[in-house]
Each structure stands twice: as structure tokens, then as C-alpha cells.
Amino acid sequence: MKKIYPLSLLSFAFLLSVTACKKPNTETDSQTFSLKNKAMASGPVSGMVAPLTQTYTENVGSQAVANRLIQSNHNEMLSTGYYVAANDSIYVTVAQVSGSRLPQLVLGTPFRDNVRPVRTYYTLQVGLNKIKADQYGGMAWVKYVSSATPAASASLSFGKGFKPVPYFKKNVTSHADWLTMLDSLSNVPDVIIETDRALVVARRDDAITYKTDDQQLLSTKIDQIVDAEDAFSGIDGSTSLHTKGPYKYLITVRDPANSGDYMAAGIGIFYIRSLTYRILQNTNVGGVSGWGLWHEIGHIHQQGPWTWTGLTEVTVNLYAMAAERYFAVTPSRMNRDGKWTSVDNYFAIPQASRNFNGTVANANDTRLGMFYQLWLAYGDSFYITLHKQTRTENPSLTTDAAKMRYFMLKACNISGKDLSDFFKKWGLPVTQSVYDEITALGLPAPATDLTTLRD
């Protein structure tokens, strides 16, 4: 944590008196007279960049959101629209709007700033905060979370040292303004595209490469991905439990990349730079090449109680396929990439020798077949109900056996069918007691053999 030196009111008044004797437009220590840092406030981009003063509202942390939705933890940072150079002196003035707690200022974007070990957090105080940036610099963010009931808000005025970045905001920024910012703001390396559901942080030079693309349509498609996967997950706002979280997905480029990097999801979603076109071109986001983004956003939606060992890269594709259907991409990936062949090869093995969790050729594709066949039989409503019931029950399951049992019983109850034959043919390695529990439900068997379903 870096030490901050707030100015007293007396010192602040003195600075104002000194400033009044200087030439107009000269940079001073006062927040009031540091407008030249806001991208030449009198220049062509003055009305396009992020506001000099912004109000932020406290909320629960992202882990609390993840715990409620029973999914993975993700981003909780709020955008400022400003970049800070390494080792620079920066000024930010804070005013308490409501409550008593204040936010933190954060430097560094997860995955994007791959040279830094961790982000740097600065505790803020009411008044003018003078901060020495760390040796890395980077995009400035705000973190405003509380483990108590959120009840605070604060305004931050960004002054000396805060450099505005090209900032496209959905339904606000025009394409012409975007081009002007890309051309004029050459002293920053990054840009931000803010949609209703996501924050995309990319290199400015890559944004220039794809500047002719339709950023409004791109923003809409990114939102449609998240919305489609939320819908598949039963995040429908029907109750507070099933309501989306307050934070936006963070999507960025990892540069420089580590050996073996491609794309991944965690507290942010990253692509390596050679794949930047997949997040900056709307035709790729909503087409076959969008699979990677659909997949990584899917990782955030996965629910632990029915994701046992070996399924991390399997059930994630249920969400990707929900996005695929939303964009009407046909044929499905199962057909397009010949994945049913792996399923057919698995069923060519004698039933007594099949082990769903064992060594399976093309395991991810094969195992996906089981979950996809349940979708073919019972549709989106099956998985919507599964997600919502899992959130409601919030079971504490720590073993693969417990997670398989939970999923199998849920599948039978939700479908209204005895799926014993289906699970036995798929070779789920559970004890006979699980099948005894299924029998005790007194449900009829499906009219057709679900293992034969294909699309």
C-alpha cells in the first residue's frame, strides 16, 4: 500500500494563491487547474473522453456475487477511463457523497500488464490525494467494495498525471469520435470499449488496425454473449438470488504473453495479441471465431456442485453452445467439428468397460456428448432449472462421487424421467445406492434411448 499525502485546507488555499500569480494554462498542484491533463480540455477530444469527475457507488465484492450465483469469481474493478505512466505523480480529489466508506484507486489491468506481479492499491482520503505511481503504471481503476451492507458513494476528480484513453461507450460514443480519439490520444498505449456487460481493454495500435469496424455493433454482440449465457444459467432476475451481479466482465489482451498462453478466464478474460481480432471485430465475436470468447465467458458461469474432476473443459461448452445458438451459427460445433465421432467411438466400447471419468479418447468432446444429449432431449429449460435449483439449495459437495450423485438425481427430477439406463450406458462410476435412489423416485423411463440422440 502506497502512502498518500492529503493537503490540508490551509495548504490548499496557499496553492490557489500561488497559482493565481502564474501564467494561464500552466500546470499546478491544484486539481482545479490541472485540466490540461484531461486530453487538452480545449482540444478536439475534450467532450469525448471520460469525465474529469465521476461518482462511484459501493457494492458487495465479486466473491460475494460468485458465492450467490454459485459460479466463478470475476472482475470487480470500475473503470475510470484514464491511464497513469510509471513513476508519475498523480492527483485525485475525493468527496464523500453518502455513507462513510471510501473507494481505493487501483493501477494495473489483470493479464494486460503482464510485466507487473500484482496490481497496486491506494487508500484514498477525502480531499486532495497526491500519489506517486508505482514503477509499472497502467490503466487506473476504482475498487469500491464492502463486506457490510453497501451504503456509501464518493466522487473522484482526476487531475494531474491522469491521461485519458480512447474510450468508446456503447450508445454514447459515435464512430467519428472514436476515430478522433484514436488519432489524438497518442500518449497512451491502451483503449477501453465499455458495453452494458463488459469492459474491453486493448492496445491502441490494435484498435487503430480495426478502427473501421462497427464498435456499436461489437458492443451489442458482446452483451448478447453474456446475456445468452446468463439466460441459459437461469440468471433471469426472477428473484434477488437469480439476478446478475453489478460488475462487468473484463476482456483484455495479454502482452507480452507467457510461453504456452492462448486464452483463459479468471478475474479477467485474456487473449494473446495475435488473437486480438477476435475481440475487436464484430463479425468474429458473433461468428464461428467467437467460440473462444463464448467459451471463456462460459467458465465464469460453471457451477461447482455438478462440475466434478475432468469437466472443467467440458461443461463450459454448454454455455458456448448457448451463445452459438443465439447467433444462429450452424451446424453446431458438435457437428461442424465432427465431435459425434468421438461419442460413437466411446459407445463402441463394451458397456462393462466404459468409465466416463477414466481414460477416454478425445475426452472433452466425448463427455460433452452426454450433457448435450440431455439438452437435445429436454432443451434449455432443463439447464435453466438445474442452475436455479443449485443456487437455491447451495449444496456443499467436495467429492466427485457426491457431485455425480447430485447431478444424476437432479437430472431425473428435472426431466421427470428415470435416467438410470442413460447414465449406465455412459459409464458413470457411481455406487448402486445412487441407482437405488433413482428407482425410489418412481419415475418412468424415457420413451427413447437418449444415447442415440444427435443433432
> Are 158 and 62 part of one and the same domain?
yes
Flag whether 29 is in a domain. no
Whether the per-residue pLDDT at 34 is higher than 70: the answer is no
> Are 223 and 334 part of one and the same domain?
no
What per-residue confidence (pLDDT) applies to 46? 73
Q: What is the CATH number of the domain that holds 373?
A: 1.10.390.30
What per-residue confidence (pLDDT) applies to 190? 97
> Are 165 and 253 part of one and the same domain?
yes
The Cα 242–Cα 281 span in angstroms is 31
Flag whether 98 is in a domain. yes
pTM: 0.90
Query: Is the preceding peptide bond at 331 cis, omega within 30 degrees of 0?
Result: yes
Flag whether 295 is in a domain. no
> Are 335 and 231 part of one and the same domain?
no
Per residue in 286-329, pLDDT (tens digit) is 999 999 999 999 999 999 999 999 999 999 999 999 999 999 99
The per-residue b/e assignment along 389-427, b for 16 or more CB within 10 angstroms, e otherwise, is ebbeeeeebeebeebbbbbbebbbbbbebbbbebbebbb
Q: What is the CATH number of the domain that holds 169?
A: 2.60.120.1250
> Are 131 and 231 part of one and the same domain?
yes
Q: Whole domain around residue 361: which residue ranges?
A: 327-452
Flag whether 289 is in a domain. no
> Are 154 and 247 part of one and the same domain?
yes
In the chain, how many domains are there? 2
Which cell numbers hold the place of 166?
480512447
Flag whether 118 is in a domain. yes
Task: Determine the average pLDDT of the residues in 28-36.
Answer: 33
Residue type, 60: V
Query: Mean pLDDT score of the chain, rounded to an integer?
Result: 91
What per-residue confidence (pLDDT) applies to 43? 59
